[in-house]
Amino acid sequence: MNYIATIGLEVHVQLKTRSKMFCASAVEFGAEPNTHTCPICLGLPGALPVMNHEALRMTVLTGLMLGCDIALISKFDRKNYFYPDMPKNYQISQYDMPLCTNGRVPLYDLAYPKDAQKNIVTPDKEVHLVRIHLEEDVAKSFHFENSTGIDFNRAGTPLMEIVTQPELNSPEEAFAFLTALKQILIYGGVSDVDMEKGQLRCDCNVSVRPESQAELGAKIEIKNLNYDYRYFPDPDLVPVKTEVLVADVRERVPELPKAKRARFVEEYQVSPYDAGVLANDLELAKYFEAAAKDARKPKNIANWILNDLQNVLSAAGRTISDCPIPPEALDELVNLIDNGKISGKQGKEVFADMFATGRSAAAIVKEKGIEQLSDLSAIEALCDEVIKANPKPVADFRTGNVASLNFLKGQVIKISKGKANPQLVGEILQRKLKS
Ligand code: MN
């Protein structure tokens, strides 16, 4: 019997705020344990929480980017449970009035794992969301051989929880969902979503049913058995009216990956695939735009970035953010090639030199003396000289021996010491020989 998997995800995302959700302690990954704490995030009796407005804004921004409905009034609740890394014995979270509901994450081909990209079951699938709410993270336990240590630096840092509808049908789709979501969160600047630092953590619910069965199988989440969270409104925090906040945040909504991909195709005539690769990495997309904005053929810029530049960067273990070739310098190089000042082959050498030394293409071309001769009258003179000196190949060409054109072309390039632009030479010779 064949089975269908139905997967729903619960994603916790650490927000990139400077301070914690309800106090002024700093948010910093990797700091010396227990150096970013205060009575509030340690849960000492009598300490009162104060709302971090930027965390609210970032959550609303996420909601706007994902097309959610933003609640007009939202409130915070206490979710009670005992856990050694949570001394208050409750987590401040949101229960029945979360900041955002509904919304969706559009999947796209490149978001899937490489080997699954050719076999996408539902192209352009959109994964719908149930809600996004804001809560505080707990401390982090470290289990040593004979003891457990607790680091409260993470306690009380703002955590956004994003819950999907159970609409994913394969691990590949779940992968694509997380990739697409991460990309949007990076675009919005709300999180660095580094999974190795725990900045994005994902729980999943999987239900399995026979293919012939329409209704979903039972969803079972095995967690915190024996508990009832006994949610109740946090009496220390007033409900939040979002109207002013939403108006504020609306201006911060960036161009999203899907729109950027479409614009790159439209504005720069790059292929949808190339647009996808460029928009996949916000820094790469910015680099491309900076290089392509004045380019005659932006598509050539894209080719250089996606092939040569990416190759040397990865070979050097660098990223686009510390690329030694500024985008304007790449544009200059591509222009030299497109205008026939240097050949494509010479361009590769100049490029390697630029990457190694950070010097400009023009300076390298000048120093190496490799500028191609593209001056029409100069090439015409060379062609005349060669035609005069080689009557036999000229006669051969005129009686139909096309191959002798290559011989003549070679002679022109030879007497130009390799500098004559081969394409121009070919054109001029043909014109002269046919007249
Ligand atoms: Mn949660």
**Among residues 366, 430, 356, which one has the least CA distance to residue 394?**
430
Rg (CA), the chain: 31
For residue 46, report the distance from its CA to the centre of ligand 1, in Å.
Answer: 24
Question: How far away, in angstroms, is 156 Cα from ligand 1 center?
Answer: 12
Both tokens assigned to 390: 């080689």
pLDDT at 128: 98
Q: Which residues pair with 19 in a beta bridge?
A: 26
Distance of CA 251 to the CA centre of its chain: 21
Q: Helix, strand or coil for residue 92?
A: strand
Q: What is the DSSP letter of 153?
A: T
CA of 416 to the centre of ligand 1 (A): 72
Question: CB neighbours (10 Å) of residue 154?
Answer: 24
pLDDT, one tens digit per residue, over 374-388 is 777 888 999 999 999
Alpha helices in 168-256 (DSSP H): 171-188, 243-250
Instruction: Determine the Cα–Cα distance for residues 271 and 268; give it in Å rounded to an integer.
Output: 9
- Predicted confidence at residue 379, as pLDDT, reads 87
Residue 418 CA from chain centroid, whole number:
43
Residue whose entry in the numeric block shows the structure tokens 């200059």 = 332
Interval between CA 161 and ligand 1 midpoint (Å): 6
Q: Separation of 215 CA from ligand 1 center, angstroms?
A: 27
Cα-flanking dihedrals φ and ψ of residue 346, to 5°? -65, -35
Distance 187 CA to ligand 1 centre (A): 23
pTM for this predicted structure: 0.84
CA of 231 to the centre of ligand 1 (A): 13
**Please, are residues 197 and 31 in contact by the beta-carbon 8 Å criterion?**
no
Measured in degrees and rounded to the nearest 5, phi and psi for residue 236 equal: -90, -10
Start-to-end CA distance of the chain, whole Å, equals 78
Q: What is the pLDDT of residue 131?
A: 98
How far is the centre of ligand 1, averaged over its atoms, from the C-alpha of 59 (Å)?
Answer: 14
CA-nearest of 172, 114, 161 to 137 is 161
What distance in angstroms lies between residue 12's CA and the mean position of ligand 1's atoms?
Answer: 7
> What residue spans of 87-198 are helical by DSSP H?
171-188
Residue 402 CA, ligand 1 centroid: distance in Å = 75
What was the pLDDT predicted at 223? Answer: 65
The CA–CA distances, whole Å, from 96 to 71, 101, 131, 241 equal 11, 11, 10, 15
What does the block give as tokens for 117?
A: 């990209």
Give residue for tokens 């026979």. 210
Q: How far is CA 95 from CA 2, 105, 201, 230, 370, in A?
A: 38, 23, 20, 10, 70
Query: 337 by DSSP, 3-state: which?
Result: helix
Of how many residues is the chain composed? 435
Q: 52 CA distance to ligand 1 centroid (A)?
A: 18
Q: What angle do CA 10, 12, 14 make, to 5 degrees?
A: 165
- What is the DSSP code (8-state) at residue 307? I
- pLDDT < 70 stretches in the chain: 220-226
Output the CA 148–ligand 1 centroid distance in Å.
23
Residue 164: strand, helix, or coil: strand
Residue with tokens 């190759």: 311
